[in-house]
Structure 1
Amino acid sequence: MKRSLLLLLILALLLLAGAMAPMFKSDPGHVLINFGSWTIETSVLVMAAAFVILWFAVQLIAWFWRMPVEASRKMREQRAFKQLEKGLLALTEGDWRAAEKALEKSASQQGRTTAHYLAAAQAADSQDAHDRREYYLEQADSGGGKKRFLVELTRARMLLANGNRAAALPLLQDLHKRRRKHPQVLELLSRCYRELGDWDGLVALLPILRKTGVLDDDQVREVREEAAVHKLKKAENADDLRAAWKQLPRAMRYQATIVDAFAASASKLQRSDLAEPVIIASLKHEWNPALVLRYGDIGAEDSSKRLKQCEKWLKQHPEDAGLHLALGRLCAGESLWGKAREHMVKSLELEPSSVGYDAFGQLLERQGELEPAMACFRNALRMSQGQKPEPLPTVTARLAAPGRPEQT
């Protein structure tokens, strides 16, 4: 910038001299300076040239005077840059101690630079050196509002990464008030709410998360479902469970994951009767094998009623493995051993599952068939680990246990 101004000034002087050259040729002017016993007499052109030469001489002397200082400054900047590069490379490699040392040197050599101190704070935090981390963050927090915002955002991110959610939450809430649409703040705040289990706070944040593009429509829907499931699971009594259910949007009450969570909570509270109409309404809306299996919970007091309902469904869904398994459980609960065995075998033929083998193993164990029961339990374990089941002993293919008449 200074060089450009100097060149423009020289060009302007040259143009001015060229314009005034004809006038000085006819009348060079006369300058007389009398100072004490000194008298200087010359033309205007010579005097102007002398001033220009003097100005250049002063600039040259000043340049020589500043040259050692400038050279020293450039050397410091080069050393600081090398330390910065070294620190960032060490930070990338995960060598936190070397990164912190190099970044601290870089910051001290180049002055109070926010970026350097923030990187040093990250290196210290990765070593669990929280006191040093706070020191670097305080050093970085020396600028205006924008730098302070970045420092607080970095502090909140580190607290959250270290599991200190309670300390990170007020920081993130304050940052959200100052920058309501900042993507990083919104992402960290939503994560903090989720990890703290503050589902009401998270749900209240969803509109702005969708508006700013932090979450898309599918993700927003998943978060709403997750929040609903957790609120249903937190119910401590039947009244709380009913209240949580009534607060849900009508469309959400038909979703399988929500209904399953409601049924699980009702079963835990020993109020399976609350879940029956909810499950039936959801299955009428959309058939779901997982909900059918939940409906076949043998712990329910009205198992005979559920058994009749499942037999009605069987006419419409004769090849549904989940329905056969539910019928098998319910029949076992009513001591209908032959039917229980038949439905469980059919369920495993249609779709082998860890739950199916476990239920069949329990039935065989109750019937005294310990060897095939243990084979079923082994298959249940294999399938839970992602392995294929092994063939069962042929005796298990019979629909009635030997010497055990079916009870009705």
Structure 2
Amino acid sequence: MKIFIAVLLALALSAGLAAAIQQDSGYILIAYGQTTVEMTIWVGVAVLTVFLILVILIFMSLRRGAKVSDSIGSFWTVRRAVRGRSHTTLGMIAFIEGNWAKARKLLTDSAKDTETPLINYLLAARASHALGDAPGSRHYLGLAEQTSNKASIAVALTQAKMQIENGRLEEALATLTRARRNAERHPSVLTLLKKVYIGLRDWNSLLALIPDLRKHGGISEERAAELEREALMGQLEHTAQQGDATALQQWWKHVPRTWHRDNGLLLSYCRVLVAAGDSASAEKLLRQSIKLSWHSDLVKLYGLIAGYDVARQLSAAESWCKEHSDDAVLLLTLGRLSLRNELWGKAREYFEQAYQLSPNSEVCFELGRLMVNLDEPAAAERFTREALQLQGQSLPSLPQPSLSKLKE
């Protein structure tokens, strides 16, 4: 039905157009310079119509050609992307396997064809570092930094790790210091700084870093305490090298009060005080600390130093027997303090009590030495032999010359 109506309309339009042409053909004159073109209006309309049809056909051809070109371009783009991902994956596998040369080639060849060239260049820099190619490492780090405005931290971390591995701690510190200006709380920056400070034995900087490590470094409170103890021990060792008791005391005053009760730090501090010639201060501090918190290592050290008043020192230690009468370490300490006070009998009594509770090499050596000076050679030999056995230093069983045979 629709086709029939369309045919009727076309016939009607043709009949009308033919009648119009017969009635008045019209006239068109086009003049340009010395050239003139004459035609009827209906011929002009036909020419214009043909021209418009040609323009439309050309436009449609160009549009279809553009689509074909886009399709071809898209095909090659996808192909390059697939190739880039494939080579990047193979490069990462080679990197993990330690095949540095192959990894670097695959990663650099595919860097421009992947959406993540930063990773490619950073791994290529690491591979160059493993190959001992320092210029290559710097080159690929530079390319990595150019890939993104946000790549500076990743580049700095990679560079710092390589510098640390090469032992160039000062350079790593400079790199991380620059990185920290842009990312003060970055956990990886803080972690690497911790390694650098420990390597450089920069204990003051490590102590200043610990609060940030606690908040942003992702370390446990236990690990933070270990780092703080390590830094304080390092400071103590550095201060002790001066051999100045006053400097040691000033350092101790600046140590946080919570650390004054740490037995390990307290023992080390007292030992270096004694080495610096200030046994009296060490004895006083130990006496006060033992009253607050009983610890065998503190008690043992108390018997190894001579305070300002050795008689008072012995009296203080004897007062502890009320609560710790069965402590072998305390009895050993009392025996040594008795020797300092030249109380030979009391010293022997304390040593023997300690021996009965816990026979160890240290008590046996003390008894052996005391028995020698008390002119009891048999007992001295017995205790000394037992001390060597307890130390694991006993002599092998071997034939010995007989005194009677020698006389013959």
In the alignment, residue 381 of structure 2 is paired with which amino acid?
A: G
Report what 1:372 is aligned to. Answer: 386
Structure 2 CA distance, aligned partners of 1:368 and 1:252? 45
Report what 1:179 is aligned to. Answer: 183
Q: Give the drift of 1:287.
A: 1.6
Report what 2:86 is aligned to. Answer: 82
Tell whether 2:367 aligns with 1:359.
no
* Distance change in 2, residues 1:347/1:152 (3 Å): farther
Report what 2:135 is aligned to. Answer: 131
Which of 239, 245, 248 in structure 1 is aligned with 2:246?
Answer: 239
Report what 1:294 is aligned to. Answer: 301
Structure 2 CA distance, aligned partners of 1:112 and 1:134? 19
* Distance change in 2, residues 1:364/1:284 (3 Å): closer
SS at match of 1:294: helix
Structure 1 CA distance, aligned partners of 2:63 and 2:177? 56
Q: Give the drift of 1:85.
A: 0.8
TM (norm. structure 1) is 0.70
Structure 1 CA distance, aligned partners of 2:102 and 2:363? 60
Q: Are 2:157 and 2:176, in contact at CA under 8 Å, matched by a contact in 1? A: yes
Report what 2:319 is aligned to. Answer: 312
Report what 2:278 is aligned to. Answer: 271
Q: Are 1:87 and 1:100, in contact at CA under 8 Å, matched by a contact in 2? A: yes
Report what 2:167 is aligned to. Answer: 163
* Distance change in 2, residues 1:274/1:95 (3 Å): farther
Structure 1 CA distance, aligned partners of 2:210 and 2:314? 42
More displaced, 64-73 or 131-140?
Answer: 64-73
Structure 2 CA distance, aligned partners of 1:327 and 1:130? 64
In the alignment, residue 254 of structure 1 is paired with which amino acid?
A: R
More displaced, 312-321 or 167-176?
Answer: 312-321
More displaced, 260-269 or 336-345?
Answer: 336-345
Report what 1:257 is aligned to. Answer: 264
* Distance change in 2, residues 1:250/1:58 (3 Å): same
Which of 118, 122, 125 in structure 2 is aligned with 1:114?
Answer: 118
Deviation sequence 1:80-137 (CA, Å, 0-9, x none): 2222111212222333343233223322655992210101122233344433322221
Tell whether 2:154 aligns with 1:141.
no
Which of 195, 208, 218 in structure 1 is aligned with 2:199?
Answer: 195
In the alignment, residue 358 of structure 2 is paired with which amino acid?
A: L
Structure 2 CA distance, aligned partners of 1:127 and 1:324? 63
More displaced, 324-333 or 229-238?
Answer: 324-333
Higher Rg:
2
Structure 1 CA distance, aligned partners of 2:81 and 2:93? 18
Q: Are 2:122 and 2:158, in contact at CA under 8 Å, matched by a contact in 1? A: yes
SS at match of 1:181: coil
Structure 1 CA distance, aligned partners of 2:329 and 2:49? 115
Structure 1 CA distance, aligned partners of 2:90 and 2:172? 31
Tell whether 2:72 aligns with 1:59.
no
Structure 2 CA distance, aligned partners of 1:361 and 1:135? 68
Deviation sequence 1:275-305 (CA, Å, 0-9, x none): 1111122222222222112222257786655
SS at match of 2:355: helix
Equivalenced residue count is 340
Tell whether 2:333 aligns with 1:326.
yes
Identity rate of aligned residues, in percent?
Answer: 27
Unmatched 5+ stretches in structure 2: 1-9, 14-29, 38-43, 370-379, 395-408
Which of 346, 349, 358 in structure 2 is aligned with 1:348?
Answer: 358
Deviation sequence 1:287-342 (CA, Å, 0-9, x none): 22221122222577866554433222122112334323434554566666633642
Q: Give the drift of 1:138.
A: 2.0
Structure 2 CA distance, aligned partners of 1:314 and 1:123? 66
Report what 1:388 is aligned to. Answer: none
Which of 324, 338, 352 in structure 1 is aligned with 2:348?
Answer: 338
SS at match of 2:251: helix
Q: Give the drift of 1:375.
A: 0.9
Q: Give the drift of 1:362.
A: 3.6
SS at match of 2:320: helix
